[in-house]
C-alpha cells in the first residue's frame, strides 16, 4: 500500500494520481461534498513513502495532471468549476498557484469537472459529465473547442498518443442505472 493516511488522519476518498519524475506522486482527495467549508486536499507521496498535504481546503478536487515540462500540476477543483495551476518549486512544494480556467457555474449541479489529460502541445482536455462534453484549452487556459460525448456523461479521459488523434473516455450512459461505456472519439487531426 502506498498511502492510507496523512498526519494521523485517514484518507477520505482518493480520486486521481499523477506520478512525478523524481519517483513520488501527487493525488487528489476530495473528501465529501461540502461547498461551504471545502475539505479537499492535494497530497504528495515521496519516494520513501512519506505522505504530506500540499494544499488543503480545495473544493472537491478530482482530476490531476502534470504539464509537459513537469513544472506545474493542474487540478480540477470541481465544486468551483475551475482548473487550478500549481507551480512547483520542488517535489511536494508549491511555489505559487492561480486559476488557469474558470468555467461557467451551473446552479442545478454540484459536480462540474471530472478528469483531465494533456497532449504534447500542453493542450488540456477536461471532461464535464453534466454537459456531456470534453472541452479543450490551450496552455494559457483559452478555450480551443469542445467535443460532444452523446449520451455518455464522461468521467475519465486519455489520449491514445500525444499527437492527440484519438481520445478515449469512460462514463455513465444517460438514463440508464449502472450502465456505462468506454468510447473513442476521433479528433480529426
Pairwise CA distance, residues 173 & 2, whole Å:
33
pLDDT digits (tens, 9 = 90+) for 51-108: 899 999 999 999 999 988 889 999 999 888 899 999 999 999 999 999 999 987 766 5
Pairwise CA distance, residues 41 & 80, whole Å:
14
Pairwise CA distance, residues 82 & 61, whole Å:
10
CB burial class (10 A; 0-12, 13-18, 19+) of residue 44?
A: buried
CB 162 within 8 A of CB 128: no
Q: pTM of the predicted model, to two decimals?
A: 0.89
pLDDT digits (tens, 9 = 90+) for 94-143: 999 999 999 877 665 555 788 999 998 899 999 988 888 899 999 999 99
pLDDT digits (tens, 9 = 90+) for 2-24: 777 677 777 788 889 999 988 89
pLDDT digits (tens, 9 = 90+) for 148-163: 888 788 888 999 876 7
Amino acid at each position: 500500500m502506498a498511502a492510507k493516511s496523512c498526519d494521523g488522519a485517514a484518507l477520505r476518498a482518493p480520486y486521481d494520481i499523477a506520478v512525478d519524475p523524481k519517483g513520488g506522486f501527487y493525488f487528489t482527495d476530495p473528501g465529501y461534498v461540502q461547498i461551504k467549508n471545502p475539505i479537499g486536499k492535494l497530497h504528495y507521496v515521496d519516494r520513501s513513502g512519506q505522505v504530506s498535504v500540499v494544499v488543503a481546503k480545495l473544493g472537491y478536487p478530482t482530476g490531476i495532471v502534470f504539464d509537459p515540462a513537469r513544472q506545474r500540476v493542474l487540478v480540477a477543483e470541481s465544486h468551483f468549476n475551475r482548473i487550478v495551476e500549481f507551480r512547483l518549486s520542488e517535489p511536494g512544494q508549491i511555489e505559487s498557484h492561480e486559476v488557469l480556467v474558470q468555467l461557467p457555474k451551473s446552479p442545478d449541479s454540484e459536480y462540474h469537472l471530472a478528469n483531465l489529460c494533456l497532449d504534447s502541445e500542453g493542450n488540456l482536455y477536461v471532461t464535464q459529465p453534466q454537459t456531456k462534453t470534453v472541452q479543450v484549452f490551450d496552455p494559457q487556459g483559452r478555450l480551443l473547442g469542445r467535443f460532444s460525448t452523446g449520451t455518455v456523461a464522461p468521467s475519465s479521459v486519455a489520449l491514445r498518443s500525444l499527437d492527440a488523434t484519438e481520445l478515449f473516455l469512460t462514463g455513465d450512459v444517460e438514463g440508464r442505472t449502472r450502465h456505462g461505456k468506454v468510447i473513442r472519439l476521433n479528433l480529426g487531426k
